[in-house]
C-alpha cells in the first residue's frame, strides 16, 4: 500500500499571478493499493471514476516511467475544500504522480514531478508549492522547463484562511480577468510583487500593506466573492492585509500580531456565520 500526503496551496499571493504560491497545512491523503478491480473511495461520487485527477496523475506518472498502468484502488481523504482556491485539484494531481513513482519504487525527483504536474495543470503556481513546500515561484525557461525558487517568510506573520460557504469556478474566474493590460499595470505588478516578497521575508508589515495592491485580477474576481469588500474593510481596520487565494473563493489574511488576528477572526465570525475561518501555517 502506497500513502501520499500533499498540502493545500494558496496561489498568486495577490501580486504573483499564475507563478507564485505557498503551501499551507491542510492536506489531501491518498492511499493506493493493488486491486482486482479499479475503484476510488473517500471522495464525492462524482469523482469516483477514471477522470479523477489522482488517477489521471497516476497514469501520467506511469507514462513517464514507461510502465503499464496497473489495476489499483484509490482512497482519497481530503481536508482541502473543492473549488475554493486552495489547490484541491493540484494536490490530487501531485499525489497521483508521486503515487506512481512510489508504486514502482522509483526515486521521487521533485523537478520531474513538477514538469509532469505543470503540463497537466497548465500553470505552476499551485503544483510548485504542493511539491516543494513553502513560498515559491516557478518560471519557464527558454527550453520550456519550469524552475523553482523558494523564498523565506518571516516568523512574525500569522496566516488565516477565510473559506466562504460557496464555490468559485476557476474557468469563470479566468474569463473575468482581462486578456490585455496596460504596460503601466505590468510595471505596477512587477514592482509590487518584488516589494511584497521582500516584506514577507523581513516581517515589514507596513511595506507588505503597501506592496499588496493588485490591479490585475482582484478588481475583477472580487465581484465573484460575496462579502469581499466587507472582509477587506475589517482586515485593514486591524492593520493587516488580505488577498484572494487562487481564483477564490477563499481569502487569506496576513497579520503580524496574534491579537490583531484574533480580533479579525472574532469580527468575521460575527458577520459571516457560515464561513469557515482557520488559522493556517506555511508548510516548508
DSSP 26: E
| Helix, strand, or coil (residue 17) | coil
Q: Residue ranges for the binding site for ATP?
A: 81-91
Bridge partners (DSSP) of residue 161 are 252, 278
Q: Residue ranges for the binding site?
A: 81-91
Gap between the Cα atoms of 20 and 135, Å rounded: 7
User: 193-223 burial by CB neighbour count: b if 16+ within 10 A, else e?
Assistant: bebbbebbeeebbeebbebbebbbbbeebbe
Gap between the Cα atoms of 142 and 119, Å rounded: 16
**Which residues 6+ apart lie within 8 Å of 126 measured at CB?**
9, 11, 21, 87, 89, 90, 246
**Which residues 6+ apart lie within 8 Å of 98 measured at CB?**
4, 6, 61, 108, 113
DSSP 282: B
Gap between the Cα atoms of 105 and 20, Å rounded: 31
Gap between the Cα atoms of 163 and 239, Å rounded: 21
**Which residues 6+ apart lie within 8 Å of 33 measured at CB?**
1, 2, 72, 73
CB 120 within 8 A of CB 126: no
Amino acid at each position: 500500500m502506497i500513502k501520499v500526503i500533499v498540502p493545500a496551496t494558496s496561489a498568486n499571493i495577490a501580486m504573483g499571478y499564475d507563478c507564485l504560491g505557498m503551501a499551507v497545512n491542510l492536506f489531501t491523503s491518498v492511499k493506493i493499493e493493488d486491486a482486482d478491480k479499479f475503484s476510488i473511495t473517500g471522495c464525492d461520487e462524482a469523482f469516483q471514476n477514471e477522470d479523477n485527477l489522482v488517477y489521471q496523475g497516476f497514469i501520467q506518472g506511469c507514462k513517464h516511467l514507461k510502465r503499464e498502468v496497473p489495476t489499483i484502488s484509490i482512497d482519497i481523504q481530503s481536508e482541502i475544500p473543492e473549488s475554493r482556491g486552495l489547490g484541491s485539484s493540484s494536490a490530487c494531481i501531485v499525489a497521483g504522480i508521486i503515487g506512481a513513482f512510489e508504486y514502482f519504487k522509483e526515486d521521487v525527483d521533485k523537478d520531474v514531478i513538477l514538469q509532469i504536474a505543470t503540463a497537466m495543470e497548465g500553470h505552476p503556481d499551485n503544483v510548485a508549492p504542493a511539491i516543494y513546500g513553502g513560498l515559491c515561484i516557478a518560471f519557464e525557461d527558454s527550453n520550456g522547463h519550469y524552475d523553482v525558487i523558494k523564498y523565506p517568510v518571516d516568523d512574525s506573520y500569522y496566516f488565516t484562511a477565510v473559506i466562504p460557504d460557496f464555490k468559485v469556478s476557476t474557468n469563470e474566474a479566468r474569463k473575468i480577468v482581462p486578456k490585455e493590460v496596460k504596460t503601466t499595470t505590468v510595471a505596477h505588478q512587477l514592482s509590487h510583487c518584488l516589494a511584497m516578497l521582500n516584506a514577507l521575508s523581513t516581517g515589514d508589515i507596513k511595506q507588505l500593506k503597501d506592496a499588496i495592491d493588485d490591479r490585475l485580477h482582484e478588481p475583477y474576481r472580487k465581484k465573484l466573492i460575496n462579502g469581499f469588500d466587507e472582509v477587506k474593510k475589517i482586515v485593514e481596520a486591524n492593520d493587516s492585509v488580505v488577498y484572494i487565494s487562487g481564483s477564490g473563493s477563499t481569502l487569506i489574511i496576513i497579520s503580524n500580531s496574534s491579537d490583531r488576528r484574533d480580533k479579525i477572526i472574532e469580527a468575521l465570525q460575527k458577520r459571516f456565520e457560515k464561513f469557515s475561518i482557520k488559522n493556517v501555517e506555511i508548510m516548508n
